[in-house]
Amino acid sequence: MFVRNAWYVAAWTDEIGERPFARRILDEAIVLFRDASGTVAALEDRCCHRGTPLVFGRVVTQGLECGYHGLIFDGAGKCVLVPGGHLVPPGARVRSYPVVEKNQFVWIWMGDPKRADYSLVLDYPYHDDPRHWPHKHTVYRMHCDYMLVIDNLMDLSHLGYVHGGTVGGAPATHVEAKMHTTRTATGVKFDRWMLDSVPPPTYVAAAGFEGRIDRWQETEFFPISTVVQWIGAVSAGTGSLRNWKYEGDRSAGFSFRLFHGITPETATSCYYFWSVANGYRQNEASATEQLFNETARTFDQDKAILEAQQIRMLETPDGPLIDIHGDGPRIQARRVVDRLLAEENANAAGQPIIVSRSAG
């Protein structure tokens, strides 16, 4: 059901402090902790002695101590101590998952540890460049299949209907958007242009546009479950679109970057890690705060829709669905995921999934 040999966002680095931290990923109970040296490790959240979640324990010098009877496990999942100095029984270990901290994320590899290739972790340098891209991040728990969140991001025509009051604006603007979709080495990318259009409320609030704008959304899906966006606008007529390149200076305008990492919790729930970084008014903390708040309102709207959609899909698993004109990118993203799933199932001994290394 899930592609396992891939990197998923497990947490924001600032979620992992002094106490162990539990999260369910791909329907497995996992405990994350930062060992005495500050290195993050991820273990099965179930003591091999009596099945108690290790998240009730505490971090000690040798590793993570179970909060029930005191067994200690190191970051590789090996039991290194039974209280009283008694024999550590053979087989006393819990599963360990490869993890890596990068760009404010803790990424986790859910498949065969031997196939974990750290060079395939996505680059997202904007999180580490607060001078040009100050950002704020959070995580939502969504009661829906993670693919419904991907679907949502791959069809932005919903902005006029779901987000009219924030980032959307008038539906007609979206209906008339110019779309250009391409396949990348591993995923799908589409550019969307709304030239000479009326700015939506969030843009006016953020950048003070007074007239019409040339507005873009560049969206790229990186399998297995990341979508990154560069979104912005300049005053209409700043340039012109030719062969899907905007000939004109976009640097002076208003733009922001959205990161979306969607990690399955179960088949019908997921964690939605998102950040927004403003490429304007970088010296004003209030600009970042304001954009974050508008984005949160926007994603709250998505959450309501997607969770209701999930309920209907569960009720009518075989109900007919039709495709319409705007479904191209969404369908292509689904095809990528379906192909990866099929490959993984067909060839358990195959190569790791190739994940494009840079969104920067």
Kindly tell me which of 65 and 344 has the beta carbon lying closer to a second copy: 65
Tell me if 25 sits within 8 A of 266, measured CB to CB.
Answer: no
| Smallest separation (angstroms) from a second copy to the CB of 59 | 14
Cα distance between residue 259 and residue 203, in whole Å: 18
Tell me if 97 sits within 8 A of 40, measured CB to CB.
Answer: no
What mask, x for binding a second copy by CB under 8 A, covers residues 87 to 116?
Answer: x-x-xx------------------------
SS3 85: helix
Kindly tell me which of 185 and 321 has the beta carbon lying closer to a second copy: 321
Cα distance between residue 109 and residue 5, in whole Å: 7
Which parts of 261-352 fold into alpha helices (H)? 285-315, 328-346
- Tell which positions 172-191 bind a second copy, by CB under 8 A: 174-176
Q: Which stretch binds a second copy (CB under 8 A): 49-57, 97-105, 122-130, 286-294?
A: 49-57
Q: Which stretch binds a second copy (CB under 8 A): 48-56, 180-188, 281-289, 348-356?
A: 48-56
With 0-12 / 13-18 / 19 or more C-beta atoms within 10 angstroms meaning exposed / middle / buried, residue 153 is buried
Q: Which stretch binds a second copy (CB under 8 A): 77-85, 130-138, 191-199, 229-237?
A: 77-85
Instruction: Candidates 155, 191, 294, 344: give the one binding a second copy (CB under 8 A).
Output: 155
Q: Which stretch binds a second copy (CB under 8 A): 5-13, 43-51, 117-125, 241-249?
A: 43-51
Q: What tokens were used for 50?
A: 């009596």
Q: What tokens were used for 328?
A: 């191209």
Cα distance between residue 25 and residue 10, in whole Å: 7
- Tell which positions 222-251 bind a second copy, by CB under 8 A: none
Q: Which stretch binds a second copy (CB under 8 A): 202-210, 254-262, 324-332, 342-350?
A: 324-332
Beta pairing partners, 258: 229, 276
What mask, x for binding a second copy by CB under 8 A, covers residues 124 to 153?
Answer: ---------------------------x--
Does residue 214 belong to the site contacting a second copy (CB under 8 A)?
A: no
Does residue 49 belong to the site contacting a second copy (CB under 8 A)?
A: yes
| Smallest separation (angstroms) from a second copy to the CB of 334 | 12
Tell me if 356 sits within 8 A of 222, measured CB to CB.
Answer: yes
Kindly tell me which of 38 and 85 has the beta carbon lying closer to a second copy: 85
Kindly tell me which of 31 and 224 has the beta carbon lying closer to a second copy: 31
Number of residues located near a second copy, criterion CB under 8 A: 56
Non-local (6+) Cβ contacts of 192 within 8 A are: 156, 177, 178, 179, 180, 216, 217, 218, 219
> Phi and psi of 319, rounded to 5°?
-65, 145
Amino acid at 53: P
Beta pairing partners, 358: 123
Cα distance between residue 333 and residue 227, in whole Å: 10
Does residue 171 belong to the site contacting a second copy (CB under 8 A)?
A: yes
| Smallest separation (angstroms) from a second copy to the CB of 66 | 7
Instruction: Candidates 14, 210, 318, 323: give the one binding a second copy (CB under 8 A).
Output: 323
Does residue 160 belong to the site contacting a second copy (CB under 8 A)?
A: yes
Tell me if 99 sits within 8 A of 106, measured CB to CB.
Answer: yes
Does residue 308 belong to the site contacting a second copy (CB under 8 A)?
A: yes
Does residue 321 belong to the site contacting a second copy (CB under 8 A)?
A: yes
Which parts of the chain fold into alpha helices (H)? 146-154, 159-162, 171-175, 201-207, 285-315, 328-346
Tell me which residues touch a second copy (CB under 8 A). 29, 45-46, 48-53, 55-57, 65-71, 82-87, 89, 91-92, 151, 155, 157-158, 160-162, 171, 174-176, 304-305, 308-309, 311-313, 315-316, 319-326
